[in-house]
Amino acid sequence: MTATTKNKKGKKATKTTKKTTSTSPFKSHLQFEKEIREFANKYKTIVVNQAKRTSVYFEMTCYNYIIRFYENNGYDVSVENLQSGKYRYKCSPSGIQSNFSHFLVSKKVKNRRMNFEIQHNVAIQSSQDDEIFTTPDIAIIKEGKVKYTKDYYDTKTTFSYVENKDLISFCEVKQFNPFPELLFNFIGVLNELKKEYMTDDGKEESPPHIAPSLMISGKPNKQTKKIRESLENRYCINIFYDLFYSATYTFSKGNVSQIRNTGKKTSS
């Protein structure tokens, strides 16, 4: 970029400023709102905007990209449980699933239609201990398997959850530049929710589903690139970087074959 000024003698002097490339893991709210609005228009629905923080906007758009993944893999997609005629994202673990919307994805396999729900911030039973739960940002579950109980909290507040046997896969969303501890913490969540995926072969699902995934907004450095390569070689997972700027391509139809599914890794 150049700027022109005049010196005391009236001569023009040109000042050059160097253009820099941002590596910030942040993005304008207006950009997010535009993406979410376009997504809602595609499914002929209106979104209740509950977002106040950039991290919430990012989580909402990542949820939308998982819907796109299933659509690009030949699933039929429909909006479920509108609230007063509007789509309501569940942007935190608080509240129960019946007060929020979700998507249903379905696919025909050998003359049988199989249905799954893409839920947002629902508690999932541990694969290690039936008495404990954790809440991934996005969960792919069998249809109609959200349960409710008043026995979980001392206050008898209603608790909504999914039994581990009904969880297919999950995604965690992080609005950060990647760093080693963030990546290794995801493996702890994987071990808690899908211990059978603690192997490169994973567990075969039919029809195929996205493997457990860590979705990160920011750009990696040399170290975190190496860690991702190591972890993806050891476990049945995806680790996505730079999604603020690469998500449209990453989850495009042309790139869908590069995303790891559940089950044994295909030979390249």
Tens digit of each residue's pLDDT (9 = 90 or more) over 215-228: 999 999 999 999 99
pLDDT at residue number 11: 52
Mean pLDDT, rounded, for 62-90: 94
Asked if the model's pLDDT at residue 211 lies above 70, the reply is yes
> Cα dihedral sign for 143, 167, 253, 251?
positive
**Is 167 part of any domain?**
yes
Count of structural domains within the chain: 1
pLDDT at residue number 121: 97
**Is 265 part of any domain?**
no
Q: Lowest-pLDDT range, 15-24, 81-90, 101-110, 173-182?
A: 15-24
Q: Lowest-pLDDT range, 98-102, 198-202, 264-268?
A: 264-268
SS (H, E, C) the chain: CEEEEECCCCCEEEEECCCCCCCCCCCCHHHHHHHHHHHHHHCCCCEECCCCCHHHHHHHHHHHHHHHHHHHCCCEEEEECCECCEEECCCCCCCCHHHCCEEEEEEEECCEEEEEEEEECCEEECCCCCCCEECCCEEEEECCCEEEECCCCCCCCCEEEECHHHEEEEEEEECCCCCHHHHHHHHHHHHHHCHHHCCCCCCCCCCCCECCEEEECCCCCHHHHHHHHHHHHHCCCEEECCHHHHHHHHCCHHHHHHCCECCCCCCC
Asked if the model's pLDDT at residue 3 lies above 70, the reply is no
**Is 6 part of any domain?**
no
pLDDT at residue number 1: 46
**What does pLDDT average to over the chain?**
86
Q: Lowest-pLDDT range, 43-52, 56-65, 72-81?
A: 43-52
Query: Is 179 strand, coil or helix?
Result: coil
**Is 47 part of any domain?**
yes
pLDDT band for 45, please (50, 70, 90 cuts). Answer: confident
**Is 39 part of any domain?**
yes
**Is 263 part of any domain?**
no
Asked if the model's pLDDT at residue 235 lies above 50, the reply is yes
More confident residue, 266 or 98: 98
pLDDT at residue number 21: 45
Write out the residue range of the structural domain in which residue 153 sits. Answer: 27-258
Mean pLDDT, rounded, for 167-185: 97
**Is 7 part of any domain?**
no
Tell me the two tokens of residue 84. 């007063």
**Is 11 part of any domain?**
no
